[in-house]
Structure 1
Amino acid sequence: MSEEGVDAAALRLNLAEAAFPWFLRVVAAYSLMFGMTYWVRLIGYYDGALWRFDTMPVEWQVASATLAVLFPFAGIGLWMTASWGPVIWFLCAVGEVTMFWGFPEIYGHRPMIVVAHALVAALYIGFRLAIYFSRRPARR
């Protein structure tokens, strides 16, 4: 292909495409942090109510073990900007939203986690839409 055939505008990244990997990396850092808090619960490092695996109710054992594995896995995928990273993060977010919004009598009421997951999901959708519309050819 000749140089005349390459559109300079197609080669430039727009703001959404440039910011999207950094957004994913910020979410990755938070995912790793959330994963570590679940690992702290599992190994009993922090002395408090429901902070040791052997003293947790079964529903907390299942949730903690699952999220302790999935959150770091999602964080790695998001950091690498792999296509499976947001999918695993979505599973973690659905799990926590179900826990803290769907069953607050069992897991407690933590509305900030629910709001944070909703905000991250909305920002992700906004980024994907902005990238999609910026890549579409202009209609004449």
Structure 2
Amino acid sequence: MSDMREHGAPHQTTLELAFDVFHRIIAIVCLIAGLRYWALLIGIADAGAWRFDLLPVHWKIAAASLAVLWPVAGIGLWMVVSWGPVVWLVAAATEIIMHGFFSDLYGSNWLLIAAHVAVVLLYSGFRVAIYFARRVDEQTE
């Protein structure tokens, strides 16, 4: 097995590796969230109470959108591509708006909102730490 650096690929720091693992963990959570929405919409979960044809219009729009957004975000995060976090942010913002600002329609879920905020803060912390680590590396070269 050859070393990645032999072929001109950049060496990945421990921080960058941890960031990739973070991406993968969030990707798995996104895929599970997407599967949950699909299970609700097709009537597998909750004894069919959340089946698509039984939902009010506002839930049909939100649930169908999130059933697509979450798996797409999961795939993007798993592949560690630039659009993965963007799609995740759209899906998370949708749930934050639903459960935070329209809780009379969608119900209040402060734990979910806190989880989304925690992921945003962790992601931002990783990005800032990687930025400064790269700046230090550039100055020492």
- The alignment's TM-score, normalised by the length of structure 1, stands at 0.86
Partners of 1:110 and 1:116 lie apart in 2 by: 10
The 5 A counterparts of 1:11-50 are 13-48=12-47, 50=49
Q: Is the 8 A contact 1:28 1:75 kept in 2?
A: yes
Unaligned runs of at least 5 residues, structure 2: 1-9
Three-state SS of the structure 2 residue aligned to 1:138 is helix
The aligned amino acid for 2:110 is P
Aligned twin of 1:103: 102
Deviation at 1:36, TM superposition (A): 0.6
Which residue does the alignment assign to 1:6?
none
Cα shift at 1:44:
1.0
Give the unaligned 5+ runs of structure 1.
Answer: 1-10
SS of the equivalent of 2:108 reads: coil
Number of matched pairs:
129
Q: Distance in 2 between matches of 1:46 and 1:12?
A: 45
How far 1:49 sits from its partner (Å)? Answer: 7.5
Cα distance in 2 between the residues matched to 1:46 and 1:90? 26
Identity %: 47
Question: Shift of the alpha carbon at 1:46?
Answer: 2.0
Alignment of 1:60 onto 2:59 = yes
C-alpha distance in structure 2 between counterparts of 1:75 and 1:43, whole Å: 20
Q: Structure 1 residue 17: deviation in Å?
A: 1.1
State the match for 2:117 in structure 1: 118
Does the CA contact (< 8 Å) of 1:14 and 1:134 recur in 2?
no
In structure 2, what is the Cα distance between the partners aligned to 1:90 and 1:13?
Answer: 25
How far apart are residue 48 of structure 1 and its match? 4.5
User: Does the CA contact (< 8 Å) of 2:43 and 2:49 recur in 1?
Assistant: no
Taking the aligned partners of 1:134 and 1:114, their CA distance within structure 2 comes to 30
- 2:34 and 2:66 in contact (8 A); partners too: yes
**Residue 95 of structure 2 contacts residue 113 of structure 2 at CA under 8 Å; is this kept in 1?**
yes
**CA shift in 2, pair 1:114/1:32, >3 Å:** same
Structural RMSD (CA)? 1.6
CA distance in 1, matches of 2:49, 2:24: 30
**Structure 2 length normalisation: TM-score?**
0.86
